[in-house]
Amino acid sequence: MLQPSVLIDRQVGEHADVFAEYIGDYLTRGLPAQAMNFGGSYRLTQTQQIDFHAGFGMNHNSLDYFIGIGYSLRFDGLW
């Protein structure tokens, strides 16, 4: 399996960034799946972040569309 991707990322402001990404899934057998993914993130603090993304498939083997949201928390200095 080969999964190439191309990512373009841009910081917009001190705490936020946006991205656009191409994703390809090329299996050893069968037809490939290709998708475009767009999104961004906002850093609430040094250790907390919220993010979102949405995208669509580029061929019939891909999902028609998808969306997601997330929250990340980093624990510094535990060990």
In tens digits, the chain (79 residues) has pLDDT values of 899 999 999 999 999 999 999 999 998 888 899 999 999 999 999 999 999 999 999 999 899 999 999 999 999 887 7
Give the sign of the dihedral formed by CA 76, CA 72, CA 26, CA 23: negative
pTM of the model: 0.82
User: Cα 27 to chain center, whole Å?
Assistant: 21
**pLDDT at residue 1, rounded to an integer:** 85
- CB contact burial 53-62 (16+ within 10 A = b; e otherwise): bebebeeeeb
In this structure, what are the phi and psi dihedrals at residue 75, rounded to the nearest 5 degrees? -100, 110
pLDDT of residue 55: 97
Listed residue (60, 40, 35, 59) closest to 50, CA to CA:
40
User: pLDDT at position 78, please?
Assistant: 78
